Structures are given as C-alpha cells and as structure tokens.
Amino acid sequence: MTDRLHLSPRHRRLLETLVRTHLPGVEVWAYGSRVNGRSHDGSDLDLVLRAPRLDEIPAANLAAFEDALRESTIPFLVEARDWARLPERFHSEVERDHVVLAPPDA
C-alpha cells in the first residue's frame, strides 16, 4: 500500500495518469475511509479535485475524468468532487485528514 492511503501502487499510478490526462494542473486529495484506516479492499475512494486558484473545474473536464474512471480497471468506486463546488463547512473536514494523491503539475 502507498503511505497511509489504502491503495495499491498500480492503482495510484493509473489514477495519476488519468488526472494528468483529463485534469492537467489539478491537485487531487484523497480523504475518507481509505485515508483514515477504516477501509477494506472494496471501499470506495473519495477524492477532492483542487484546480489552480481553487476555481471551478469545467463540467466537461469533470465528466471526461469521471468517464475515464468508470472505464478504467480500478476495481472499486472512485468518487471525485470539485473543491470549488463543495460547501465551505466540508473544506475543514477534508483539510483535517487527507493525503495528496496527485500534486498539481509544475
């Protein structure tokens, strides 16, 4: 497993590739059960997508990323949410316990 994240290196590499392909420049944080130690192999992976300047990610880019996730060989559900569209009260919860899955492109 990779660090605290209950995710195989193979699946992490695949997710990083999908992010670079469909969401260039977006930072991806994982949170939830795969980060806090309460997951099992079939647990979903919760992601929050943080665009540069924390702007909203265009809907077409989000849809393309979500389609690519569904078509991938990742054997569990991946839920991706745009940071800019999340309620403010949820931000502090994610900030408290997350793992950076994909840093923004340099």
The DSSP code for 5 is B
| pLDDT digit string, tens, across residues 10-48 | 999 999 999 999 999 999 999 999 898 888 878 899 999
The structural domains of the chain, with segments of one domain joined by +, span 9-102
User: Alpha carbon of 50 to those of 10, 59, 92: distances in Å?
Assistant: 23, 14, 14
Residue 39: per-residue pLDDT = 84
Residue 3: per-residue pLDDT = 61
Selecting from 1.25.40.10, 1.20.1250.20, 3.40.50.300, 3.30.460.10, what CATH number does the domain 9-102 have?
A: 3.30.460.10
| pLDDT digit string, tens, across residues 67-82 | 999 999 999 999 999 9
Residue 79: per-residue pLDDT = 96
The DSSP code for 34 is H
Give the integer Cα–Cα distance in Å for 100 and 97: 10
